[in-house]
Amino acid sequence: MKKLLIVLAIMSAGLTYAQNKNAKANIEIDGVCGMCKMRIEKAAVETIGVKRAVWNVETHELSLIFNEKKISLDAIEKNIAAVGHDTPNHKAPDDAYDAIAMCCKYRDPAVVEDHKNMKGKHGGGR
């Protein structure tokens, strides 16, 4: 029994060591504009363990640098969904989605199309 506990202690220490302090990940996050960008990035960076978060309005890709010892990717996605933005693994609760501005309603095809048209008129994204 004592040997088993020693082996388990060594294995758990190895797993802790394997976690990356500067893990990188890219996640697709639904959104349409600069206001979405600010909200998504703020929700991510205010998550303990997230060092950097940059969301691209054009590709909808959130680039992250985070400490795996402090936070999981799943927990980051939950925090972003909580402010109204769908992630690959978590749909934003209806009350959170309803609270975002009308111009940010990325589930509404008319809003998405309007943002596409605005980019063409203004020579780029917001």
In the predicted structure, residue 87 carries a pLDDT above the cut 90? yes
Poorest-pLDDT segment among 38-47, 67-76, 106-115: 106-115
List, for residues 5-37, the tens digit of each pLDDT value. Answer: 555 555 555 555 567 889 999 999 999 999 999
What pLDDT score does 55 carry? 98
Higher per-residue pLDDT: 17 or 106: 106
Percent of the chain residues past pLDDT 70, beyond the cut:
79
List, for residues 35-65, the tens digit of each pLDDT value. Answer: 999 999 999 999 999 999 999 999 999 999 9
For 51, half-sphere exposure in the C-beta direction (CA atoms, 13 angstrom radius) is: 12
Mean pLDDT score across all residues of the chain: 86
User: Rounded distance, CA 109 to CA 74, Å?
Assistant: 27
pTM of the model: 0.78
What pLDDT score does 122 carry? 41
User: Rounded distance, CA 54 to CA 69, Å?
Assistant: 21
- Domains with residue ranges and CATH for the chain: 19-107 (3.30.70.100)
What pLDDT score does 18 carry? 61
Neighbours of 94 (CB within 10 A): 9
Residue 25 token pair: 């990940």
Residue 50 token pair: 């997230």
In the predicted structure, residue 125 carries a pLDDT above the cut 60? no
Residue 3 token pair: 């040997």
